[in-house]
Amino acid sequence: MGGATSARDARRIFEALKTVVLGQDQALRDVMVCLLARGHVLLEGVPGTAKTLLVRALALALDVKYARIQFTPDLMPADITGISMLTGSHDFTFRPGPIFADLVLADEINRAPAKTQAALLEAMQERTVTVDGTTHPLPGVFTVFATQNPVEFEGTYPLPEAQLDRFLFKLVVTYPPPDEERRVIRMHDAGRDPHDLAALGVSPVANADDIRSAAAGAVRVSLTDDVLGYVLGLAAETRRTPSFSLGVSPRGAAMLAVASKAWAYLSGRDFVTPDDVKALLKPAWRHRVVLRPEVELEGGTPDSILDGVVERVPVPR
C-alpha cells in the first residue's frame, strides 16, 4: 500500500466512523494513528460519549475480529487469556480467551484488580499469551482499547504509571459540540439505533492485511535529525519542569516519534514535521508525566503544563 493509497483508505475509514461517532473527530484521528503505529489506546471519558461505539464501528469498518471484555472486581486473569482444559483423551487443550481478537475493548479497565489488569497489560507488551508454559501468539493487528471513567473512584483500581506506559495514547473523550449533540438526539428521535452499525451504513472498507501494509509504510517515513532533536528537547524539558514530579522517559520520547511517523504517513507524506510532533504530544505524553500534588490542587493539568513545555522549546527551522 503506497502513501497515497493509505491516505485514501484512512479517509474512507474516517468518513465511515463519522456517520455514527458524532463530534469526536480528533479521537478518530488519533485512533487511526495508533493502529498504524501498532500502539494501544486508553480512552477516558464519562459514560455516553461514544467510547464503546467508536471501537465497535472501527472493527466493522476494518473487517476484523472484535471482542469486548467487561472488567469487574471478580474478573480473573484466565477469563481474559484463556485456560488449558482436560479432554477425554487425558490431554490438555488450550481454550483461547477473548483477548485473541484483532481489536479488544477492555471496558472500565480500572474496575478489575491489579493481577487481572497485569494479565492484559503483559499481553499488550509482548503480544503473546503464556498459559501453562506454552506461549500463544496474538493476532497480527492486535490492539487494545481500554476505557475508564474519570469521575468514579469507588471500587476502582487506578492503573499505576508503569502500566499506563504500555498505552501509546491516552485520549480524553469529551462531550460533542452542541451541533453534533443535536444530531445525536435527532438520530434517536428518528428511531435510528446508533448501535445498529450495519443499518447506519458502516461496512468494511479495509482489512487486517491493509493495516499491516500501512504500518510497514509508516515505519519507512523519514525522521530527520532536526525533528528527532526536537522530540528529545521536548522530553528533556518535561524532566526540568518544576510542575512535574516525573517527566517523560526515553520510551515516551520514542513513542511520540513513532506516532508522528504514522500521522505523517496518513497525511500522505514520507517525512515528519515539527507540527506532527506538536499535534500528537499531549495524547502521547499526558499519561506519562506526573504532576506535583500542589500543582494539581491549584488546578493544573498535564495538558496545560505540556502546553508550556511546547512554548519553551525552540522549533527547528
- Residue-by-residue pLDDT tens, the chain, 317 positions: 445 555 666 667 777 777 778 778 888 889 989 989 999 999 998 887 778 888 888 888 888 899 999 999 999 999 999 988 877 667 778 889 999 999 999 999 888 888 888 888 888 988 999 888 888 999 888 999 999 887 666 667 788 787 888 899 999 988 888 888 888 788 777 777 666 776 666 778 888 888 888 888 899 999 999 999 999 999 999 999 999 999 999 999 999 999 999 999 988 899 999 999 999 999 999 999 999 999 999 999 999 999 999 999 999 98
Asked whether residue 45 falls in the same domain as residue 119, the answer is: yes
What CATH number did the domain enclosing 81 receive? 3.40.50.300
Residue 297 lies in a domain: yes
Give the domain-ending residue among 192, 215, 238: 215
Q: How many CB atoms lie within 10 A of CB 25?
A: 15
Query: In Å, how far are 56, 57, 153, 174, 312 from 49, measured between CA atoms?
Result: 14, 14, 19, 7, 34
- The alpha carbon of 77 is separated from its chain's Cα centroid by a whole number of angstroms, namely 21
Could you tell me the residue range of the domain that residue 45 belongs to?
A: 3-215
What CATH number did the domain enclosing 273 receive? 1.10.8.80
Asked whether residue 46 falls in the same domain as residue 161, the answer is: yes
Residue 317 lies in a domain: no
Phi and psi torsions of 113, nearest 5°: -65, 165
Asked whether residue 283 falls in the same domain as residue 244, the answer is: yes
Give the domain-ending residue among 176, 199, 215: 215
Asked whether residue 60 falls in the same domain as residue 170, the answer is: yes
Give the domain-ending residue among 152, 180, 215: 215
| CA atoms within a 13 Å half-sphere pointing along the CA-CB vector of 264 | 25
Asked whether residue 165 falls in the same domain as residue 242, the answer is: no
Residues 6+ apart with CB under 8 A from 178: none
Q: How many CB atoms lie within 10 A of CB 204?
A: 13
Domain count, the chain: 2
Asked whether residue 132 falls in the same domain as residue 229, the answer is: no
Asked whether residue 234 falls in the same domain as residue 191, the answer is: no
| CA atoms within a 13 Å half-sphere pointing along the CA-CB vector of 106 | 32
| CA atoms within a 13 Å half-sphere pointing along the CA-CB vector of 200 | 25
3-class DSSP state of 44: strand
CB 176 within 8 Å of CB 184: yes
Asked whether residue 133 falls in the same domain as residue 193, the answer is: yes
Q: How many Å apart are CA 168 and CA 21, to the nearest integer?
A: 22
